[in-house]
Structure 1
Amino acid sequence: MWGAGKRKSRRPARFVDYYTEGLDEQQRDDVRPRSTSTPRFPVPKPREARREVDVDEVEEEIREATREIEALKVDLQRMERSVLEVQEGQQQNGERKTRHSRDVTAAKSRENSPTLGRHLGDGRREPQTRISANELRQFTRMKQDLHTRAASSPPPSRGRSKKAAASARSSSSSSESSTSRSSSSDHSRASRDADFQWKLLEEDTRTTQASVFAVGTSRNHQTHISTYLNFCNYFGIVPMPANPHNLACYAQFLSRSLRSSDSIAHYLSSVKLFHHLNGFTTFSLDHFEIAHTMKGLKKRLQHRPRQHGRVDIPLLVDLAGCFNPQVPRDAAIWAAIVFSFFTFFRRSNVVLDSKTQFDPKKHLKRRDILVSPAGLLIYVTWTKTLQSRERVLSVPLLPIPGSPICPVAAYTHMCDLIPTEPDQPAFVVPTRGRKLRPLTTSMLEKAFARAAASIGIPAGSLTLHDLRRGGYTLAFQAGVPRELRQLHGDWRSDADHVYLSTTVADRLRVPAALRDYVLRHSIA
């Protein structure tokens, strides 16, 4: 402060010298402050004319600098993730040498002790699956190659940062030159800049909120909300806030066209989301009339989900005869089928919904599948339950010598017939013009349906998702622990129980075990 009350104090010497340099004593007295209150803006130099600045140009420079700064933040986040992956790779490289001798010794001891096994969480004993030391060593090396590839990836672009710095300097110089305007015009310009920044912040916030749901989930919400609004418009009901009686009637209305009470619950959940997005955050479906209506609909509808087909080894062998391995298109389709079966992958991780919707950050690429004599190692960074890239899923596959359903042989044969760039989709097919296009869901579903119909399976009995179910059931029959089955198929909940398809022989194991126990412990 320059002063308070009757106390007067001079401005610091550095400010006085700045504004009085080159002036005589009379001019210096005129420039020195005589007011007891602090001026809001610096006093301009009186001895040189200021260049007039275009306000629109300054605002455009500020807007451009803001965009570049946001882009720099994204690049910094990517760089931090790459550094973390490199550090993890270095740490694993240091631990790999110390663990190698111990792993080899343990593997030899397991081979020499065929009765050795550990009790697992599901009550089963671990199967005596032999993995050679050479296979273990090669997969460990491939695992290390993933971190090496991440370390060798090019750093974020530097040109953008230079442009942002130039824009920032230009904006700073423009701001300094604009001090020649009056205090009222400066205040209005600052207010306009604040308004623009606030609008930009609101737009970024809406974009962030819109990214919460996936594209398919957002489309379902739009369909549900549109149905609810049409219902309210037809019966003359106020959509928001909805009362419990109207929602109970809405559920009854949906039961005329929907056969499952779970589907009706999804429609009501979208109505709740619609209220929350419009400010009615206290709206809830926990009301007696709504819950009572849903219980009644569940008993009246008595919906039974469709019984899924089962893809087992004999069926997969029969399907192999429906594809010509010398035709590139058939080779790609068959590789995608056995790939889905043995990896338990969802359809979205293997093929694309459309040939124009390829996203390198989400979909599987050729460089994400490492090939070695020991097998394949698939590097996955996005799945249905892995949408924030918070971890990496590594799925290994071993060859099956002499088997027509070997996934390693099918994939390597496809790569030999259809070579492509490492950053292209993993499964591509050639077109008539000798160009490559991604293998889409529609193409794979039609080819899978034709192959199933050719071996006598009724239409609609099998889907691509049944490959995931069949692979999981095969792992259960092979005695693989449930924890490893969940990790291999990337299940985050207990939903994997639904994928288990048991046979009569599997169900007879329980009474057979009880019978054997009683016979062993019966008293003569």
Structure 2
Amino acid sequence: MLSLARNLWLICAQYNIQIHIQGINKRAADILSQTGSHEWLSLRRKARTVLKAAFRPGTFKNLRTQLNTYLLFCEKFCRSAFPVGQETLCGYVCFLSDNFKNSGSVRNYLSGVKTWAILLNFDTEEFNSPSLRLTLSGIDKLNTNVPNTKLPFEPYHLNRMFEIIDMTSVQDAVMWAVIMISFYAMLRKSQFANNSRTTFNPKEQLTRGDIQITEEGLIIDIQWSKTSQKHKNIHQIPLKRIEDCVLCPVLAYSRMVSMLPALPGEPAFGLSDSKGKICAFSKSDIDKILHKLLVRCGMDTSQYSFHSLRRGGATCASAAGCTDSEICTIGNWASSCYKGYIKHSTDKLYYISSKMGLFCKLSY
């Protein structure tokens, strides 16, 4: 019965269902429990819908997974799910730490439970308890796993790829354009590819109409990004033509366009199907093609991924003397997290200590 009640509660929480279990003996209380303003019930439903709309579909899907995991934990150990208790939360953290290598994932799942507590109008004070903070701190210290942060692509990596790529191949020409545009514009993969080829969204992924070729170079109109999902402002990225350089994004894109023409509303990057229509790459397509290219270049595929292009672009811009503000503008970062993308060279670090030493020398 307890398991049935929990499952029933979960269904009601997920699909915004309200139920009334009719009483038997206490008729007066039963009638009173059903009375109330229909307008107020309507407002409550609307408030829940508005709260749900605050999350992207993918985010809400993750929240449901996190809720299911928490409910299964509570059912397994016979704990009350909501309102949350301090002992339950600490036990849940330890349970998650046994199943996740990264303590960041533990915090992510815990945050999901807190979000559900807020959505379901339960108290969240226990999430701030000293006991929970100490438990999380202990998990961080006991967790010896080091996240595998991918290295950035540097110019000599790109030059090696160019030497391997066959520019007479349409697929290679398209992939090279993807690499060049993603490096210089510091794009995320989600800005031109979706989870599958059939779910391409022209409001979120780049189309041919979003990239204009001008006399000076390219102008890219980004309508959607991870940090700007409301389509209110178009983030415009101009890319300058680089003369006498094989690592030129304008040259790479222009070559692709001449080899594979497309309509303005079609995907910016993809391959033509049997009917001559441009079919967008999926994210897995991009990963597979890049993986094969890295193998052909003799590079360690465990150290690099597509995100290495975004990291490489930020690193290159920093090494070229671009300011923090300029890097944030191009990469459309909404916080200072971009600093973690930049990998400084040994020469630059030598330069910093050299400047410090000169200052010390002049100070005594």
**Pairwise TM-score range, normalised by the shorter structure:** 0.7 to 0.9
- Which deviates the most, 204-213 or 358-367? 204-213
Question: What residue is the counterpart of 1:335 in the other structure?
Answer: 177
- In structure 2, distance between residues paired with 1:383 and 1:472: 17
Distance 1:254 1:401, change over 3 A: same
Question: Which of 384, 400, 403 is the aligned partner of 2:245?
Answer: 403
Please state how far the C-alpha of 1:210 moved relative to its aligned partner. 2.6
Give yes or no for contact 1:368–1:379 (8 Å, CA) kept in 2.
yes
The residue type paired with residue 338 of structure 1 is M
Distance 1:236 1:274, change over 3 A: same
Distance 1:516 1:289, change over 3 A: closer
Give yes or no for contact 2:86–2:131 (8 Å, CA) kept in 1.
yes
- Which deviates the most, 303-312 or 375-384? 303-312
Question: Which of 173, 181, 188 is the aligned partner of 1:346?
Answer: 188
Q: Secondary structure at the match of 1:356?
A: helix
- In structure 1, distance between residues paired with 2:49 and 2:164: 47
- In structure 1, distance between residues paired with 2:40 and 2:219: 47
Please state how far the C-alpha of 1:373 moved relative to its aligned partner. 1.6
Distance 1:477 1:223, change over 3 A: same
Question: What residue is the counterpart of 2:204 in the other structure?
Answer: 362
Question: What residue is the counterpart of 2:305 in the other structure?
Answer: 463
Please state how far the C-alpha of 1:206 moved relative to its aligned partner. 4.9
Question: What residue is the counterpart of 1:449 in the other structure?
Answer: 291
Question: CA-atom RMSD, angstroms?
Answer: 2.2
Question: Which of 343, 347, 353 is the aligned partner of 1:511?
Answer: 353
Question: What residue is the counterpart of 1:209 in the other structure?
Answer: 51
Give 1 or 2 for the bigger CA radius of gyration: 1
- In structure 1, distance between residues paired with 2:117 and 2:46: 22
Give yes or no for contact 1:272–1:283 (8 Å, CA) kept in 2.
no
Give yes or no for contact 1:275–1:283 (8 Å, CA) kept in 2.
no
Distance 1:368 1:434, change over 3 A: closer
Identity of aligned residues (%): 29
Please tell me whether residue 325 in structure 1 is matched to residue 167 in structure 2. Answer: yes
- In structure 1, distance between residues paired with 2:105 and 2:217: 43
Q: Secondary structure at the match of 1:285?
A: helix
Q: Secondary structure at the match of 1:395?
A: strand
Distance 1:227 1:277, change over 3 A: same
- What does 1:90-239 align with in structure 2 at a 5 Å threshold? 206-239=48-81
Please state how far the C-alpha of 1:522 moved relative to its aligned partner. 7.6
Instruction: Write out per-residue CA displacement over residues 314-363 of structure 1, whole angstroms, 9 at most, x where no aligned residue.
Output: 10011112322222222111111111000011111122222222222222
Distance 1:382 1:307, change over 3 A: closer
Question: What residue is the counterpart of 2:264 in the other structure?
Answer: 422
Q: Secondary structure at the match of 2:204?
A: coil
Give yes or no for contact 1:276–1:283 (8 Å, CA) kept in 2.
no
Question: What residue is the counterpart of 2:3 in the other structure?
Answer: none
Give yes or no for contact 1:272–1:285 (8 Å, CA) kept in 2.
yes
Please tell me whether residue 379 in structure 1 is matched to residue 229 in structure 2. Answer: no
Give yes or no for contact 1:355–1:438 (8 Å, CA) kept in 2.
yes
Give yes or no for contact 1:428–1:438 (8 Å, CA) kept in 2.
yes
- In structure 2, distance between residues paired with 1:432 and 1:358: 18
**Which gives a bigger RCO, structure 1 or 2 (Cα 8 Å, sep 6+)?**
2
- In structure 2, distance between residues paired with 1:207 and 1:366: 35
Instruction: Write out per-residue CA displacement over residues 356-389 of structure 1, whole angstroms, 9 at most, x where no aligned residue.
Output: 2222222211111111121001111211111123
Question: What residue is the counterpart of 1:480 in the other structure?
Answer: 322
